[in-house]
Structure 1
Amino acid sequence: MTTSQPRPPRKVLVDFGSPEPAPRRLRLLCIAHAGAGAAPFGPWSGLVPDWISVVGVRLPGRESRLRENVLTSMEDVARHIADQLAGHTGPVALFGHCFGGPVAFRVGQLLENARECDVVRLITASAPVPGRVPAGRLTHELSSDDLYASLVAAGAMSDGPNGRSIFELTEHAIRADFQAFETWSAQDFGRIRAPILTVNGEDDRVLGGDSSDEWASLTEGRFTSRSTPGGHFLLGDGTPALVDIIVRQLADDHAGR
């Protein structure tokens, strides 16, 4: 009688650059919006200079980890990611799009507290402020139809058969990510030591125009805000402009070190 062996855990971090970055190479750790995995960041490796290694985050419940149990606690999500960088001593910049912004913030704090790697910058795009949940019914409690409609309105889903199919495949991960954000309070965690850059779309109707400045209170370092053409969802056609802003900021940081 044969016994089945447990499957090895799927990769959390997907390196789209060199599989073994040089010690002085900057690791750009990228966390996507609710329900998404590492795939949106695959094209980034062709848009950044050689001294930046793009690393995408793949949480449970998406892509090759589709059958794994999702995480519904922000602390569990952040620690799941930070644990993967244990022993990494090189410089790290964190990027988060939408839901990924608050996650990147908490990951940065955990990495700073561990004092193993050098967190040089936190960059967010179209990201809500940690702990700021709009009044009214919580998104993770919406019906499937209402949740899908809200994602279409934000530009995160297409309104058609393909979009609906993708939504049905990823709904559990999307809902889990919203739950993690909407049930988390960042008030007890203080600030991050790394400087923060926020990037918002000029036509973002989801966050409004005042969200970026609230991020300024969450860093002990310098705060910078930029805008770029586009709406709330910046990982589509707006990717080249967004990556250009990120690379310019990281180059300035590198020159000033």
Structure 2
Amino acid sequence: MTGLAPDTDLWCRSFHPAPQAPSRLVCFPHAGGSASFYFPVSAQLSPGTDVIALQYPGRQDRRLEPCIEDIHQLADELHPVLRTLADRPLTFFGHSMGAVIAFEVARRLERDGEGPVHLFASGRRAPSRYRDEDVHERDDEGILAEIRAMSGTDSQVFASEEIVRMVLPALRSDYKAVETYRSEPGSVLRCPITALTGDNDPKTSIEEARAWQEHTSGVFDLQVFQGGHFYLSSRPGEVMKVLSAHLDALAAGA
């Protein structure tokens, strides 16, 4: 493919460009998260893999843009952007909310015949497993208490009222998007799926993670790590080992 969509630079961050890499890893952030969360992943995998971290509206350099409160709308907007990156094999990695966004974008790309070669769904129950959650309806302190409980954001962030005001709109809209998300019945990908989860994640049980198997006609694998919802921050080496094994196999077959 040649050329990039006009808004590719708006959505995609390439911290360590790897133009000669045989494949791309596209990373989808969690609720309230930003592209910079995946800077260490990019640093470790480059230049063997071209790592693209996505930046949703309403945060960091896109903080003045309206937040998107619907997973399907996010997927619809990301779909044409990621189509432009399909000139090399795509691997998707999404954590928490990012896992279901990655799943929905993968569905759209597969309809085009340009789907990812693998989906890594981290820290999120399968699309067919629902919980009645209302974090997005809480007051500001209620949302911040939820984030602190998940240990997903450095406590120093909350020491600054200015930063808190900046991140709250994105947090609330992201929670609304993921808590109101419903997948289409029978949604199945052709590509393999690997589900990754912490063994003490209050947001995702091991069985809810295992249910991702229902959403692929390809190979399925479940990887369980010690830790909670943000197990990947405390077990980065173990997570990278799983990702690297897949990416090395891709490179060997290129």
- TM more than 0.5: yes
Residue type at the aligned position of 2:32: G
How far did residue 75 of structure 1 move?
Answer: 1.1
The question of whether the paired residues in 2 share the 8 Å contact of 1:234 and 1:242 is answered with no
Indicate how the Cα distance of structure 1 residues 75 and 216 shifts in structure 2: closer, same or farther if over 3 A, else same: same
Distance of 2:66 and 2:214 partners within structure 1: 34
User: Could you tell me how far 1:102 is from its partner in structure 2?
Assistant: 0.4
What residue number does 1:90 align with? 88
**Structure 1 contact 40–235 (Cα < 8 Å) conserved:** no
**Alignment partner, residue 246 of structure 1:** 243
Query: Separation in 1 of the partners of 2:140 and 2:199?
Result: 29
| Change over 3 Å in CA distance of 1:256–1:215 after alignment to 2 | farther
Structure 1 distance, partners of 2:128, 2:175, is 12
Flag the 1:87–1:45 CA change in 2: closer, same or farther, 3 A.
closer
Provide structure 2 residue ranges, at least 5 long, that are not aligned to the other structure.
1-5
Task: State the AA in 2 paired with 1:64.
Answer: D
Q: Note if contact 2:199-2:205 (Cα within 8 Å) is conserved in structure 1.
A: no
Alignment partner, residue 107 of structure 2: 109
2:181 to 157, 160, 184: 184
**Percent of aligned pairs sharing the same letter:** 25
Alpha-carbon separation, structure 2, partners of 1:85 and 1:59:
13
- Does 2:222 correspond to 1:225? yes
Whether 1:16 aligns to 2:15 is yes
Q: 1:161, CA displacement in angstroms?
A: 6.5
Report how many aligned residue pairs link the two structures.
Answer: 246
Letter in 1 for 2:28: I
Q: Which residue of 1 aligns with 2:205?
A: 208
Give the SS at the match of 1:94: strand
2:38 equivalent in structure 1 = 41
Give me the whole-angstrom Cα distance separating, in 2, the residues matched to 1:162 and 1:217. Answer: 39
Q: CA deviation at 1:18?
A: 2.0
Contact 2:107 2:115 in 1 (8 A): no
Give, in whole Å, the separation in 2 of the partners of 1:168 and 1:133: 30
- Partner residue of 1:52? 49
Matched residues in 1 for 2:108 and 2:159: separation?
A: 35
Q: Please state how far the C-alpha of 1:103 moved relative to its aligned partner.
A: 0.5
TM-score by length of 2: 0.87
Residue in structure 1 matched with residue 168 of structure 2 by the alignment: 171
Distance apart, 1:255 and its partner CA: 4.9
User: In 2, Cα distance between the equivalents of 1:154 and 1:198?
Assistant: 19
How far apart are the structure 2 equivalents of 1:123 and 1:192? 12
Q: CA deviation at 1:77?
A: 0.6
CA 96–25 in structure 1, closer or farther in 2 if over 3 Å, else same: same
Which amino acid counterpart does residue 145 of structure 1 have in structure 2?
A: E
Structure 1's unaligned 5+ residue stretches are 1-7
Higher helix content, 1 or 2? 2
Amino acid of the residue matched to residue 112 of structure 1? E
1:4 match? none
Supply the distance in 2 between the matched residues of 1:141 and 1:243 (Cα, whole angstroms): 35
Which amino acid is the alignment partner of residue 23 of structure 2? Answer: L
Deviation at 1:241, TM superposition (A): 2.3
Cα distance in 2, alignment partners of residues 146 and 52 from structure 1 = 39
Looking at structure 1, the residues matched to 252 and 171 of structure 2 have their Cα atoms a distance apart, in angstroms, of 38
Superposition RMSD in Å: 2.4
Distance in 2, Cα, partners of 1:216 & 1:66: 36
How many angstroms apart in 2 are the aligned matches of 1:186 and 1:131?
Answer: 7
Report the TM-score, using the length of structure 1 for normalisation: 0.86
